Amino acid sequence: MYRLEYFTDAVAVWTKLADNYPDFELTEKARFQTARTLFDLGETTAAVKAFQSFIVKHPTSDRIKDAQLQLAHAYYNAGDYKNAIPRYQEFLALYPQAEEAVSVQDFLQMSYVQVGKSDEELEKLTQGQSKSGVLADLYWSKGAKAFNDKDYKLALGYFEKVMIDFPASSLAPQAAFYRGECFYLQERPEEAAAAYRNFLAQFPNDAQAPTALFRLGVSLFNLNRFEEAAVTFEGLVQKYPDDPMAANAAENIPLAYAKIGKIGDSEKAYEALLQRTTDPKKRATLIMQIAQIKEKNGVPAEAIAYYEQIPSTEEEYGEGIYAIGSIYARSGEADKETKTYEKVLSMTPKDNVYRIAALGRLAELYISKGQAQKALAVYQDVAANATDETALTNAKTRLEELQKVIGN
């Protein structure tokens, strides 16, 4: 009947055999097979009773070890973790070298979790045992919750448990990364840098590697280790050029080099960033920065070439024009200076501070050339649009003076 899969009928026959012939040589096997079949059928309550009966009536049987293990499993499958625990503990005490010992430890630890043992109790109860993957899941979920609640100190402890107790777990890379995040968000850059380096060394191809590289660069920057930061950011850009973090890293490279006075490297970094930047506003800012570096480095012609690349539609345009005019002023090229400042006459917005400053200089150039009428028009523009009190007062004073000259 069993072989024909009439399992319930088979159990009934074996039970009848055991009840009617308790001393028969096959009774022991019949009782064990009854318990196993009930277990396989999912009738856990009946299976528990059957295995208990077998253990009591056949304590010296060769099948006693399997019966004790199956009884523990029957409790576990029934959701009776409280009774499963002592059965698993008893099995491990009686058969510590059994091939099933590792899996029994897993079930035992899962039972501890199911009955709500505290972290301290779990640590004590599992000491010396191989850790079950269920504990890795438990520690990870608790760590993730603490992290989301911004309790980074608590989260750190759980992530470190996963890393130490479950180094081969699929959760280990995440735990290693978020360990770094805990330090980073607590503004502990030294420890964050070490944690991110450890993560990248162990899991260089993890999906979080670009973010870890960026965070490592920021941590080094905050530690004033600017050259290391720049090299780290460069590594990110080279290895992950299309990652969103690469754009942020590229912006930090020139800043890091500038901090240690490597102006040439800073300038090259800005130029590389300019090549990969498509946003018009960001491009205008970068062009301005490169031009300013070149001007400081004493190459005014190259600086002018960059200032002239700033589109008239961008906010930096007025500043760029004013900077070009200032370069010509220092070199005594008044005609070029005049033509440069004249470009802001049609510029908007009209109250732009650099436009107003350029107009003030333009008006004075006109005066120096005896073009009082042009100077008058320019100062009228300044008076109508300036928001700076000093520029406004100066324009009004100069207008009065010019009107007297023109009137005479």
Indicate which CATH number applies to the domain containing 94. Answer: 1.25.40.10
231, part of any domain: no
H or E stretch covering 222:
helix 209-222
Q: What angle do CA 278, 284, 287 make, to 5 degrees?
A: 100
pLDDT for residue 408: 59
The burial of 7, by beta-carbon neighbours within 10 Å (0-12 exposed, 13-18 middle, 19 or more buried), is given as middle
What pTM value is reported for the model?
A: 0.65
97, part of any domain: yes
Q: What angle do CA 76, 78, 83 make, to 5 degrees?
A: 55
Rounded Cα gap, residues 256 and 273, in angstroms: 14
For residue 302, the one-letter residue type is E
- Does 349 sit behind a cis peptide bond, omega within 30 degrees of 0 on the bond before it? yes
What is the Cα 310 distance to its own chain's centre? 35
The average pLDDT across 221-238 equals 96
pLDDT for residue 26: 94
Token pair in block for residue 320: 């760029």
Rounded Cα gap, residues 321 and 344, in angstroms: 8
pLDDT for residue 4: 93
Rounded Cα gap, residues 136 and 346, in angstroms: 68
The average pLDDT across 31-36 equals 94
Residues 67-115 have pLDDT tens digits of: 999 999 999 999 999 999 999 999 999 999 999 988 888 888 888 888 8
- How far apart, in Å, are the Cα atoms of 74 and each of 56, 125, 254? 16, 22, 66
Residues 146-171 have pLDDT tens digits of: 999 999 999 999 999 899 888 888 99
In the predicted structure, residue 407 carries a pLDDT above the cut 80: no
Token pair in block for residue 179: 């360990």
pLDDT for residue 45: 92
pLDDT for residue 121: 86
What sign does the dihedral 85-91-92-94 (CA atoms) show? Answer: positive
Rounded Cα gap, residues 236 and 243, in angstroms: 9
In the predicted structure, residue 13 carries a pLDDT above the cut 70: yes
pLDDT for residue 40: 92
- How far apart, in Å, are the Cα atoms of 386 and each of 97, 137, 357, 397? 90, 65, 9, 14
351, part of any domain: no
pLDDT for residue 253: 95
226, part of any domain: no
In the predicted structure, residue 128 carries a pLDDT above the cut 90: no
- On average, the pLDDT of the chain sits at 93
Domain count, the chain: 1
The average pLDDT across 6-34 equals 94
Nearest residue to 36 via CA among 49, 21, 51, 55: 51
Instruction: Give residue for tokens 């008239």.
Output: 312
49, part of any domain: yes
Q: Is 132 left (phi over 0), alpha (psi -120 to 50) or beta?
A: beta
Rounded Cα gap, residues 277 and 271, in angstroms: 10
The average pLDDT across 326-335 equals 95
Query: 67 lies in which domain range?
Result: 1-119
356, part of any domain: no
- Helix 101-114 to helix 64-77 angle, to the nearest 10 degrees? 30
The average pLDDT across 30-34 equals 95
224, part of any domain: no
The burial of 192, by beta-carbon neighbours within 10 Å (0-12 exposed, 13-18 middle, 19 or more buried), is given as buried
pLDDT for residue 50: 94
Rounded Cα gap, residues 59 and 52, in angstroms: 10
Q: pLDDT band for position 360 (50/70/90)? A: very high
Residue with the bigger pLDDT between 49 and 121: it is: 49
204, part of any domain: no
